[in-house]
Amino acid sequence: MKIAINGFGRIGRAFFRNFYENKIKDLEIVQINDICDFDKLIYLLKEDSIYGKFKCEFKYQNNELIIDDKIIKLSSYQNPKEFSTNADIVLECSGKFDDKKSLQPYIDNGVNFVILGATPKDDMNIYIYSVNESKYSGEKIISNASCTSNAIAPIINTINKKYKILSGNISIIHPFNNDQNLLDSAHKDDIRLSRNATINIIPTKSSIGSVLKKIFNINFYGDSIRVPTSIVAFSNIDLVFDKEISKDEILNLEFDHKIIGIDSDMLVSSDFIGDKRSAIIASDLININGNTARIGIWFDNESGYANRLLDMLEVVQRCHKSH
């Protein structure tokens, strides 16, 4: 299955890095689209301030990347209506097109599938690996939700299968994002995000509550606190159960250890840079009070999410082959 990436920012490049560093064989990246100067984007691919040098050899010439003897076309289409590609599937990572209406032109132009690498702004179906990916049935346009949803939903899913959750609150301590400002400057949406990202702790909104409500039909509230770090997020997951629960009951659950880890070494954020798992539960940060529990987790908000995009691409591919 041939893949085109639209948007070669932090998530687009993280996906690309992990695709080649994981040596994925059954999928092929054939196109990268971005409206920015590719001389600068390729420089950022080669030299990443967080993850270091890109580990794979490639050539960049004549508006093409050549890697593993295969050519990747570089294009600068402004929107899905203009987009021309021979790819089977578009990975939408631009942050600009986040509903079915804006993504439909990809399908109209001959693409078979679109995966949105973000939380949708409409009722688009959301699939999260190790939660509900088995329910995917070939829809043309789907969302893989956000990095936070991919970190938290698999944990909620495993717990809720055995112990009934009545409600929950999610608080995310999140590194600053590209939509923030290095110095005070007006932000297009959120007045607090207008402030200097390098010296402020900034409360803001999160979609996590609505995503968890949609998937589990349980009432959740969620918010995000942006902090002056570049990578790796932390979250407190507060859960209310229908009966008392113990720390051991949570730790003894059968989490999907491909994507959910357990930390017993008192690690901190920098220890998880580049971690490919969706989340890592800090065992010492599980606290119980009767029928309520607080569970602390870490997750690399770029690397972990990029690997779940890879997993969902393989889910779509398997479904496509089976039909």
Catalytic positions, please? 147
Nearest to 64, CA basis, from 22, 102, 29:
29
* Secondary structure element (H or E) that encloses residue 154, with its range: helix 147-162
Residue 130 φ/ψ region, left for φ over 0, alpha for ψ in the -120 to 50 degree band, beta for the rest? left
- Residue 108: strand, helix, or coil: helix
State the Cα–Cα distance between residues 302 and 3, nearest whole angstrom.
Answer: 19
> Residue 284 CB: number of other CB atoms within 10 A?
12
Inter-helix orientation angle 10-21/303-322, to 10°: 70
Class of residue 278 by CB neighbours under 10 A (exposed 0-12, middle 13-18, buried 19+)? buried
State the Cα–Cα distance between residues 19 and 115, nearest whole angstrom.
Answer: 16
Count of H helices and E strands in the chain? Answer: 7, 17
State the Cα–Cα distance between residues 11 and 102, nearest whole angstrom.
Answer: 20
The beta-strand segments (E) located in the chain are: 2-6, 28-33, 47-48, 52-53, 59-61, 64-67, 70-75, 89-92, 113-116, 141-143, 165-175, 202-205, 219-227, 233-241, 260-263, 279-289, 292-299
